[in-house]
Structure 1
Amino acid sequence: MNRNSFRVGRKIVVVKFPSVFMGILLLVSVSGASALSDDGKRDLDANGSAIVAAPTDRQIADALKGISAAEIEKTIATLVTFHNRSTISSMDTDLPKGEGVTAAADWIESELKRYAAECGGCLEVKRDTFTEPPQTGARPRIVKPTTISNVYAILRGSDPAQAQRMILVTGHYDSRNTDIMDSHGAAPGANDDASGVAVSLACAHALSKVASGLKLPATLVFVAVAGEEQGLNGSAHLAKLAKSEGWQLEAVLNNDIVGGNTTPGDTLQDKSAVRVFSESIPASATPAEQSAILRLGYESDSPSREEARAIADVARSYKRVLGPVKAGAKTAYDFHPVMEFRPDRFLRGGDHSSFNQQGFAAVRFTEWREDFNHQHQNVRTENGVEYGDLLKFVDFDYVARVARLNAAAMATLAAAPSAPANVHVVVQSLDNNTTLSWAGGPGAPAQTGYEVVWRELAAPDWQRSAPVGDSSRGSDGGYSITLPVSKDNVIFGVRAVDRVGHRSVAVVPTPAR
């Protein structure tokens, strides 16, 4: 069969795709089609093909190999030396030189400037400093006007038509101990969250090194925020800034507690897995939008959830670079993300939610199994148990794998064409076919290809896909395709694909008559 034909029963159906925007829709009708094909397959399985990993981009793979456990260790160890990186320490005047959150911000800025010098100025390094007002309520964590700095670097996209698109990675560089208001006692914060900052810096270093050759069309932003422990202050400020300035943030990757806890005796830790949390119904959705999402069964198809699926898709393409992870003398597992279909863990929060609140797609990376004796604790030993977020409990090789996954996802999404726009499913009549229509995304090159993907309603990830050929493009530039698959039984999506296989996030359709 050719790429625009599908099997129904004994017949091969060739589908022609005039543009929906021309007002002409061709619905495929096959008489005598049964519920199952001759080989016993349902319509959703008899059409298209099972989704396979996209080809590995050798330039991206080479960039990932530049991320080392040694560099990760150096970053985390340096951040630990600042003793206590409490956000409120920025207002202290009695700290020894080289301690506190401001000293940490200075060092992060210097590292990003070093990377910029190494790549010939390809990175724009910025420090956004603002004053957070005192909090109100019963237990304020900021009691006086407090200076907070977000430090970040921007790698501009190489394609002027797509450079407005942005993918952002972040971690928070502030830390805490048992007392959230203690700005002087030891608060090493090695895992929470020097590990996440190490991921962001490693991505910046690795991808800037190859920027001249890789030439990613979209823009990358590498961030270290403060104020997370006091109430997500830094990320909230940055997300609001992005919204007010019209940043086209397509994906935010927040890394928080990605140290791969190494507590002796913990046999349930999984060093081959990192959790990726994503919201269901967008936090920014209006009541009308929430109602529509529930009516369509799209509660598991928020932009953040599609971002998580895209990250899982990228991991399959780069599994040889990410893993394998040994689990014994003869056993090894591919390093992989595990999609967690909830916004975050119980009783916890993170900086990704600040971006969700402003309507951006954002997910959180967190190690598989946390040890709460090594989070938000004073450094001490009690009854033979060691407490505190110490450097020795971090697995630097694990953090490096998380960083490679982040960098691969960022580079792939930046290399892919912009996601399709105005994606619709036509609901003019009752039938067992599905007609989808869409337009190319902003700045998408003329040679952009597209894939229709689908999955069963209860399936967590995309299962099958059908490529969309040039014949599906109308004279006005719009696209339309009709598949003999019932829209009642599956969730459909459409994603953009370039000539070498970089895939955008998928976009689910809204109904149109």
Structure 2
Amino acid sequence: MYLFLAILGLSLSVGSAVAAPQKSVAAANAINAGSESPSREHALLATLADAPSADELRATITKLVGFGTRNTLSDTHSETRGIGAARRWVKSRFAEISKDCGGCLQLVTPSQSFTGKRIPQPTEVMDIVAIQRGTVEPNRVIIITGHLDSRVTDVMDIEHDAPGANDDASGVAALIESARLLSKHKFRATLVFAALSGEEQGLYGGKVLADFAKAQGWQVQADLNNDIVGNTRGQDGVIDTTTVRIFSEGTKSNETLEQAKYRRYHGGEVDSPSRNIARYMADLADRYLTNFKVRMVYRTDRYGRGGDQVSFLEAGYPAVRVTEGHENYTRQHQDLRTENGIVYGDTIDGVDFGYLAHVTALNAVTMAAMASAPVAPTGIDTTGAVESDTTVKWDAVEGATGYRIWWRDTIAAQWQHSRYVSGATNVVLKNIVIDDWFFGVSAVSADGYESPIAYPGDAGSF
């Protein structure tokens, strides 16, 4: 066995993204009890869950649809039509929100010029970004994105109307409403609200913002990319007002060959930071949203399709895609027309504003929870080979007064068991054998706000 492990470049005593079982239900219950932890229920999050206004969301989408087309290649000079007018309006809306909170938002417009398959001539791609600085960790950033640009059947068509009500004025409305609500409060970490351009031409707006984040030295903890989040009537005939899908990558897009070799042996295929953000959102939905749930999808995006979160993942930042439960493809990327009794086109009558308010609530609650909590732990290590107990260690986190150690069966979708500890950066889980479980650690503040769970090793590090 030593020879086999040596060939893999591994060690018997090492523990990382591995696991450990329990001897009995009684033993698990004793460990679950742990130390007394702060309450995990927060009045602010409960308030935010009910705060989004369907009227505000409708007003935003109505305004964006009114610009006719928002194709990235469309007019940038007109005050009433095209991508330029739409960008200027979003910036003015952020300015109004900032005025209401005493100038709490910094507005920036990062841009780059691109040419490509869908951009034949050099074209400026500009993002409209509002930054709400954190009070304690201004360099730690939680981002919400949606794309401002729209299209019809021919992605190069800049003449015909492309309302883009659901794809993706709905996502932009969600982030603007989140900015309106969250700007009324102060948070430990920084919140960023970004309306991106160039998505339909090749995910350029995501690259612009990811590059800007790197240039600013931001520690991006998450990008919540909202794209197509307002429809409840699927092309399959299903009407679903209670489900939103969260897509997340299983292994990191920027994983190295050495990291992949270690992960393939020890595990971690379903525990990237992005995947644990999806679990974090699902847990928050269960605790704070009424009759509204997250369906986690173990893919980076829909099959054969993409979104701006991909640019963040390629840059090494955790990111997820938020999308409605049942899409209607006759309403996406279509010329406005009626054929054989079927209405084609992404018009505002295809948006369910009550549903969109729930999706917005999930985003706002997630951003507030993450920005109020300490950063996710790093330096997590598990040991316990050929032992009946598992030891979990991690680095101390600034602002954390305690930690929650989590474990689950290796085929379980969600974390199943936990133990809270304070005043320590290691714990021995008695009668929990490392071979049979996956482990993680979250950091907890004095008032009970909890970070996403981080998985041991490179596979799960934020």
| Distance change in 2, residues 1:448/1:47 (3 Å) | closer
Contact 1:419 1:440 in 2 (8 A): no
Deviation at 1:154, TM superposition (A): 0.7
> Are positions 1:189 and 2:145 aligned together?
no
CA shift, 1:79, in A, is 0.6
In 2, the alpha carbon distance for the partners of 1:286 and 1:243 equals 19
Which 4+ runs in 1 deviate beyond 6 A?
none
Where do residues 408-427 of structure 1 align in structure 2 (5 Å cutoff)?
408-427=365-384
Other-structure match for 2:396: 440
Tell whether the 8 Å contact from 1:420 to 1:507 is kept in structure 2 after alignment: yes
Q: What is the 5 A alignment of 1:346-425?
A: 346-425=303-382
Q: Which residue of 1 aligns with 2:96?
A: 114
Query: How does the TM-score come out when normalised to structure 2?
Result: 0.90
Q: Is 1:462 aligned to residue 439 of structure 2?
A: no
In structure 2, the CA distance between the partners of 1:54 and 1:175, relative to structure 1 (3 Å rule), is: farther
Question: What is the alpha-carbon root mean square deviation over aligned residues?
Answer: 2.1
Matched, 1:48 2:18: no
Taking the TM superposition and a 5 Å limit, the aligned residue runs for 1:332-347 are 334-347=291-304
Residue 222 of structure 1 corresponds to: 193
In percent, how many aligned pairs have the same letter?
Answer: 41
Aligned residue among 474, 481, 497 for 2:427: 481
Aligned match of 2:387 in 421, 427, 431? 431
> Partner residue of 2:11?
none
Distance (Å, rounded) in 1 between the aligned partners of 2:223 and 2:317: 8
CA offsets 1:308-348 (integer angstroms, 9 cap, x no match): 111112222312xxx2xxxxxxxxxx201111111111121
Contact 1:312 1:337 in 2 (8 A): yes
Deviation at 1:507, TM superposition (A): 1.3
Q: Is the counterpart of residue 292 in structure 1 residue 292 in structure 2? A: no
Distance between the aligned counterparts of 2:75 and 2:273, measured in 1? Answer: 36
Aligned to 2:60: 75
Q: 1:453·1:492 contact (CA, 8 Å) conserved in 2?
A: yes
Structure 1 unaligned residues grouped into runs of 5+:
1-33, 324-333, 474-478
| 1:281–1:293 Cα contact (<8 Å) kept | no
Instruction: Please state whether the residue corresponding to 1:169 is helix, strand or coil.
Output: strand
- More displaced 10-residue stretch of structure 1: 432-441 or 362-371: 432-441
**Offset at residue 43 of structure 1 (A):** 5.3
Q: Distance in 2 between matches of 1:458 and 1:44?
A: 18
Q: Within 1, Cα distance between the matches of 2:263 and 2:221?
A: 20
- SS of match in other structure, 1:88: coil
1:49-92, Cα deviation, whole Å (9 max, x unpaired): 59x9963321233344331111011111111011110001146x
Q: Structure 1 pair 490/190, CA: closer, same or farther in 2 (3 Å)?
A: same
Contact 1:417/1:448 (<8 A) preserved? no
Q: Which has the larger radius of gyration?
A: 1
| Match among 444, 448, 458 for residue 501 of structure 1 | 448
Look up the SS of the partner of 1:432 in the other structure: coil
2:12 matched residue in structure 1: none
- From 246, 252, 268, the equivalent of 1:276 is 246
Provide the secondary structure at the position in 2 that maps to 1:381: strand
What are the residue-to-residue correspondences of 1:315-334 with 2, within 5 Å?
315-319=285-289, 323=290, 334=291
Question: By how many angstroms is 1:241 displaced?
Answer: 2.1
Distance 1:488 1:58, change over 3 A: same
Which of 122, 142, 157 is the equivalent residue of 1:145? 122
Q: Residue 377 of structure 1 aligns to which amino acid in structure 2?
A: Q
Partner of 1:167, secondary structure, is strand
Measured after TM superposition, the shift of residue 231 of structure 1 is 0.2
Q: SS where residue 120 of structure 2 aligns?
A: coil
SS of residue paired to 1:89 = coil
Work out whether 1:166 is the aligned partner of 2:112: no
Match of 2:213 in 1: 242
Q: Tell me if structure 2 keeps the 8 A contact 1:55–1:317.
A: no
In 1, Cα distance between equivalents of 2:103 and 2:216: 24
* 1:466 Cα deviation after fit: 0.4
- Residues paired across the two proteins, number: 435
Partners of 2:139 and 2:386 lie apart in 1 by 41
**2:9 is matched with which residue?**
none
> How many angstroms does 1:45 deviate by?
6.0
SS of the equivalent of 1:228 reads coil
Are the aligned partners of 1:277 and 1:363 in contact in 2 as well (CA < 8 Å)?
yes
Name 2:277's counterpart in structure 1. 307
User: Tell me, which stretches of 5 or more residues in structure 2 are unaligned?
Assistant: 1-20
Moved more, 238-247 or 381-390: 238-247
Partner of 2:16: none
Q: Which amino acid aligns with 1:482?
A: V
Displacement of 1:411 in angstroms is 0.3
1:330: which partner in 2?
Answer: none
Could you tell me which amino acid in structure 2 is paired with residue 305 of structure 1?
R
The aligned counterpart of 1:16 is none
Provide the rounded CA distance (Å) in 1 between the counterparts of 2:43 and 2:30: 33
Q: Deviations over 1:465-503 (max 9, x none)?
A: 001132xx3xxxxx1110021111111001001123211
Amino acid at match of 1:352: Q
Given that 1:196 and 1:257 are in contact with CA atoms closer than 8 Å, whether structure 2 keeps it comes out as: yes
- Residue type of the partner of 1:114? E
Q: Is the 8 A contact 2:110 2:212 kept in 1?
A: no
- Is the 2:75–2:81 contact (alpha carbons within 8 Å) kept by the matching residues of 1? no
- SS of residue paired to 1:258: coil
Separation of aligned partners in 2, 1:271 and 1:425:
41
* Gap change, CA 1:36 and 1:107, over 3 Å in 2: same
